[in-house]
Amino acid sequence: MIYTHLIDEDRCKGCGLCVDACPKNVLEISEKVNARGYFPAWQARPEACIYCAICCEICPDVAISIARPG
């Protein structure tokens, strides 16, 4: 199945928990500031994502989700 990895940049506070937890080093903290003044996480290497959802589970701001398109 094909899934889509989504990060709500306006909700993310850039704590980095997801970056540290990702087993494939997919995520990094952005150099761009979001609307709330934080540096959000982003998928630096999306092709490496195995959609394990560890990032979704660890995010305290519920800013990350994985969904099937459609």
Going from the N-terminus, what domains does the chain have, and what CATH number goes with each?
4-67 (3.30.70.20)
Residue 59 CB-density burial (10 A; 0-12 exposed, 13-18 middle, 19+ buried): buried
CA distance 29 to 15: 9
- Whole-number pLDDT of residue 1: 54
pLDDT of 22-63, one tens digit each? 999 999 999 999 999 999 999 999 999 999 999 999 999 999
- Whole-number pLDDT of residue 51: 92
pLDDT of 55-65, one tens digit each? 999 999 999 99
Instruction: Judge whether residue 21 has pLDDT over 70.
Output: yes
